[in-house]
Structure 1
Amino acid sequence: MPPDHAPITVLLVEDHLLVSEGLAAMINATGDLKVIATAATAAEAVRQALLQQPDVVVMDSHLPDGSGADVAGHIREGQPAVPIVFLSADESEVAMIAAVRAGACAYLPKSRATADVVEAVRRAADGEMLIPATQLARLLARAHEMSRDEADRRRLLESLTRREMEVLSLMADGLDNRAIAAELGIGFTTVRGHVQNILEKLDAHSKLEALACAARYGLLDAA
Structure 2
Amino acid sequence: MSSDNHPAKIRVMLVDDHLIVRMGLSFAINNQPDMQVVAQAEDGHEAIEVYRQHQPDVVILDLRMPKRNGIETIGVLRREFGAVRVLVLSNYGSGDEVSAALQAGASGFIGKDTALAELLDAIRKIRAGDQVVPSEVARRLASRITSHLSTRELEVLALIGRGLSNKEIGAALNVVESTVKVHVTNILSKLGVADRTQAVLAGVKRGIIQLE
Q: TM-score, normalised by structure 1?
A: 0.58
Q: Hey, what does 2:39 align to over in structure 1?
A: 37
Q: Which of 1 and 2 has greater Rg? A: 1
Of the three residues 39, 51, 54, the one matched with 1:52 is: 54
Instruction: Give the C-alpha shift of residue 84 in structure 1.
Output: 0.8
Instruction: Give the C-alpha shift of residue 92 in structure 1.
Output: 0.9
Residue type at the aligned position of 1:45: A
The verdict on how the C-alpha distance between 1:20 and 1:11 changes in structure 2, with shifts beyond 3 A counting, is same
Residue type at the aligned position of 1:21: M
- Equivalent-residue separation in structure 1 for 2:84 and 2:121 (angstroms): 17
Cα displacement string for residues 108-163 of structure 1 (whole angstroms, at most 9, x for unaligned residues):
11011222111100010000111279659738848x99xxxxxxxxxxxxxxxxxx
Cα displacement string for residues 50-107 of structure 1 (whole angstroms, at most 9, x for unaligned residues):
1111111111011011211110111112221121100001111121011111111211
Q: How does 1:71-110 map to 2 (within 5 A)?
A: 71-110=73-112
Aligned CA RMSD, in angstroms, stands at 2.5
Q: Hey, what does 2:142 align to over in structure 1?
A: 138
Which protein is richer in helix relative to its size? 1
Instruction: Give the C-alpha shift of residue 7 in structure 1.
Output: 0.5
Does the 8 Å contact 2:110/2:133 carry over to 1?
no
Q: Which SS does the other structure have where 1:63 is aligned?
A: coil
Range 74-83 or range 119-128, more displaced: 74-83
Q: Hey, what does 1:20 align to over in structure 2?
A: 22
Residue type at the aligned position of 1:14: D
Q: Which SS does the other structure have where 2:12 is aligned?
A: strand
Of the three residues 119, 122, 129, the one matched with 2:121 is: 119
Residue type at the aligned position of 1:105: S
Q: Which SS does the other structure have where 1:6 is aligned?
A: coil
The verdict on how the C-alpha distance between 1:55 and 1:139 changes in structure 2, with shifts beyond 3 A counting, is farther
- Equivalent-residue separation in structure 1 for 2:139 and 2:84 (angstroms): 22
- Equivalent-residue separation in structure 1 for 2:112 and 2:85 (angstroms): 18
- Equivalent-residue separation in structure 2 for 1:97 and 1:29 (angstroms): 32
Q: Which SS does the other structure have where 1:96 is aligned?
A: helix
Residue type at the aligned position of 2:93: E
Consecutive unaligned residues in structure 2, runs of 5 or more: 150-212
Structure 1's consecutive aligned runs of 4 or more residues displaced over 2 angstroms after TM superposition are 131-142
The verdict on how the C-alpha distance between 1:68 and 1:135 changes in structure 2, with shifts beyond 3 A counting, is same
- Equivalent-residue separation in structure 2 for 1:55 and 1:71 (angstroms): 16
